[in-house]
Amino acid sequence: MHNNKFSGKLPDALKSLKNLQFLYLDNNELSGNLFDLLRHTPEITEVMSKNNYFSGTIPIEVAKLSLLRYVDISNNYFNGMIPQELKQLSLLSFLNLANNDFRGHIPTGIGLLSNLGKFSFPLLSHLKLYEYEYNKVTSTYFVFSLI
């Protein structure tokens, strides 16, 4: 469903897709709280929802989505704190949270996710891609350069 100029909120009927593994909604004009849908999809492994109008916070229940490997929710209107519970997503290999309105600290322990991609922070060489740019997050545990 990506690249279609779909607009509005996601239909509640999508919550019944309990075996949904891949959700590609990027480059549309969708709005609402994406995580209201995701909490009903325990088998989800990939979420591509960049370049939309999604908003709200990332709930602590995100840790229940233990099969998540790829998350790109960049260029939306998510806000609030980035939950500590993200560090429980041990299969996560790609995480892009850029261009939202997150605030606070980067949670401790995220740097220990051994599958997380391309190096972006100087002191965490096992990371490959980890974008937090254009947010208002800080860290008291390591210094990093914004991409």
Cα(127)–Cα(48) distance, rounded to whole angstroms? 20
> What pLDDT band is residue 134 in, cutting at 50, 70 and 90?
low
**Domain spans of the chain?**
7-138
- What pLDDT is stored for residue 102 in this prediction? 84
DSSP 106: P
Run of H or E residues at 36: helix 34-38
More confident residue, 57 or 130: 57
Q: Is the pLDDT of residue 4 over 50?
A: yes
CATH code of the region 7-138? 3.80.10.10
Closest CA to 79 of 102, 61, 106, 104: 102
* Number of helices and strands in the chain (H, E): 1, 11
Specify the pLDDT at position 118: 42
- By CB atoms closer than 10 A (0-12, 13-18, 19+), residue 54 is buried
